[in-house]
Chains A and B, each alone.
Chain A
Amino acid sequence: MNDSKQNLWGDLVFRGLTATFAAGIALLFIALLAELWHESRPAIDQFGFSFLTSHEWNPVTVKFGALIPIVGTLVSTILALLFAVPLSLGIALFLAELAPHWLRAPFGTAIELLAAIPSIVYGMWGLFVLSPLLADHVQPWLQKFSGGLPFFAGPTMGIGMLTAGLVLTLMIIPFIASVSRDVFLMVPTHLKEAAYGMGCTTWEVVRDIMIPYGKKGIAGAVFLGMGRALGETMAVTFVIGNAYHLSWSLFAPGNSIASTLANEFTEADGTVYLASLIELGLVLFLITFIVLGLAQIWLRKGQSGGGR
């Protein structure tokens, strides 16, 4: 009798303990948001909504606006997605459908290892290897053959928005590719075989069966990669150039939210300066929260039901 009572208590304590720690994760998240909000109040009170639309970032006159870092974050992310989505889908297709069976596991591991390389190593490689290459060979060539497009104007320094976008491309390929491969692999074999049996080519099966079937999962994979690119710090800090001006040219140096934080946070003197940086962090956190939240919702739906 006594024994079973003890067990009952034991179970309750065990359940309560695990629930406390699970709640701890949620509380941590709330504390993070609350703290960022609370500490950025001086900046929010002073600049209000214009913080998001002003392009002035001047510690001397204590005027801060986040437009340039926000634009830089978005432009570098969009550039990365432009390159990474087609490449990743190609890789996913290769891994799920085309590669011989013995090659699939090792090749998949190799692609996933791209995600394991620390971001600071990507940044260093981008600065010392990729950007000289771009400055000496790729950028002059682009300038010559683009016929004076504003996107490719200005001095070819090698660091800037384009380089940041390219390094981010490499970093998010493994995420998008491996999740989309899993999505492709979940397409039921009988659907694919029915299409093959009707005489479809492999590409037609991909286009008309696999992509429509897995579209939510693929959208989730793309948003996962986007969330990664938005918040990436070290790799971008190395190659984006850290300059506060807006330019149409992708060769021009810029700034992202994360690189601004990395460069200026420890040097920020004065309440409003620090609060403005924290508000930048809050903005970044909210954007990635929305993007990653959407990714999770789509990935779950893609996993549970599939199809349309």
Chain B
Amino acid sequence: MNIIFRRRVVNSLVLGLSGLAAAFGLFMLTWILGDVAIKGAGAINWQFFTELPAPPGMEGGGLANAIVGTLLMTGTAALIAVPFGVLAGTYLAEFGYNTVLGRIARFISDILVSAPSIVIGVFVYLVMVKPMHNFSGWAGACSLAIIMLPVVSRTTEEMLKLVAPEMREAALALGAPYWKMMTGVIYRAASTGIFTGVILAVARVAGETAPLLFTALNSPYWMHSMNEPMANLTVVLFNYAMSPYDDWHRLAWGAALLITMAVLVLNILTRLLLSRKRRTS
């Protein structure tokens, strides 16, 4: 009797702790998001989206150039990483299941997904910024592209593998060559999934700061080309939050709210896309 009672007590205790851990996770999420929303909402106004940053100590000013810079660099990074990643992912799914190259590329992709992004910033500094003698939007875009690449290639691989084998057989039975089957049938069937991977990759880099610190740097002005240092939301957030000015802190919270919202919306969008795909296929 005694031992059964003890087992029950231990059981309830552990299950209670597990529930508490889960409640703690949810609590932290709402706490952080709530703080960001409350403190950030005060900074979001028309000026925030339309004006250049004000000099230190001056009232007002916005982050218009940083918003454009982030969009430009993230977009450029996607243009570089998506074709590269989709083709690499195609090899992993179609030809490289068990080849040496396939195994190595898959292993390295999985490691690069979690690799420290600041080291990628250092690498791009060494191969682009140092030889060209200036910080640039291109360098920022390239380091973001390196971070996106493994995300795109691995999701492409997973999504291609999900395409029903009957589709391949049908295309091949009609006499289509392999490349035509891929471009005409398989890519189309997997397009939602691949698109999801791209959004996921964009969401992954939209909040990245570390790889931009030594590549895009920052700038208080409008950009004229991608060849010059480029303002971006995350580095501005970093500089402003570390500054002693209250007004800059306020803007930093605004930037934090904007980035967090964007990333959360993209993440939820990928989930919706995936769940709808699962239901239809």
- By a beta-carbon cutoff of 8 Å, the part of chain A in contact with chain B is 7-8, 10-11, 13-15, 17-26, 28-29, 31-32, 35-36, 39, 86-91, 93-95, 98-99, 107, 109-114, 116-125, 127-129, 170, 173-174, 177, 201-204, 206, 224, 227-228, 230-234, 237-238, 258, 261-262, 265-266, 277-278, 281, 284-285, 288-289, 292-293, 295-296
> Are the C-beta atoms of B122 and A278 separated by less than 8 Å?
yes
CB-defined contacts of B95 to chain A, threshold 8 Å: 15, 18-19
Shortest Cβ gap from A179 to chain B (Å):
11
- B36:A121 contact, CB within 8 angstroms: yes
Q: List 21 A-B contacts (CB under 8 A).
A: A14-B178, A23-B101, A26-B105, A29-B108, A91-B18, A91-B25, A93-B18, A111-B26, A120-B209, A120-B237, A124-B237, A174-B25, A203-B15, A233-B117, A237-B238, A261-B118, A261-B119, A278-B122, A288-B116, A292-B114, A293-B107
Interchain CA distance A252-B76 in the complex, whole Å = 42
Is the beta-carbon distance between B207 and A113 smaller than 8 angstroms?
Answer: no
Give the chain B neighbours of A99 by CB distance below 8 A: 22
Q: What 0/1 pattern do residues 1 to 44 of B give for CB contact below 8 A with A?
A: 00000011011001101111110111011001101100100000
The answer for the CA separation of A10 and B179 in the assembled complex, in Å, is 6
**Chain A positions within 8 Å of B144 at CB level:** none
The reply to whether B119 and A231 form a contact with Cβ atoms under 8 Å apart is: yes
What are the residues of chain B within 8 A of A23 when measuring CB–CB? 101, 105
Q: Which residue of B lies closest to A23 (CB)?
A: B101
Chain A interface helix/strand/loop/mixed:
helix
Q: How far is the CB of B74 from chain A (nearest CB, A)?
A: 13
| Beta-carbon nearest neighbor of B178 in chain A | A11
Q: How far is the CB of B279 from chain A (nearest CB, A)?
A: 13
Residues of chain A with a CB closer than 8 A to B223's CB: none
Q: Tally of A-B residue pairs with Cβ under 8 A?
A: 257
Q: How far is the CA of A24 from the CA of B229 in the complex (A)?
A: 28
Report whether A22 and B96 are in contact in the complex, using a CB–CB cutoff of 8 Å: yes
Q: Which residues of A contact B8 (CB under 8 A)?
A: 201
Q: How far is the CA of A90 from the CA of B28 in the complex (A)?
A: 15
Closest to A122 in B: B32
B58 on interface, CB distance cutoff 8 Å: no
A18-B90, A203-B10 given; 8 more Cβ-contact pairs under 8 Å: A7-B180, A22-B153, A87-B25, A94-B18, A113-B29, A128-B241, A128-B249, A231-B118
Chain B nearest Cβ from A256, distance in angstroms = 10
Question: Given A24-B88, A292-B114, A116–B267 Cβ distance below 8 Å?
Answer: yes
Known: A110-B25, A203-B10. A90 touches B17 (CB 8 A): yes
Contact between A121 and B91, CB atoms less than 8 A apart? no
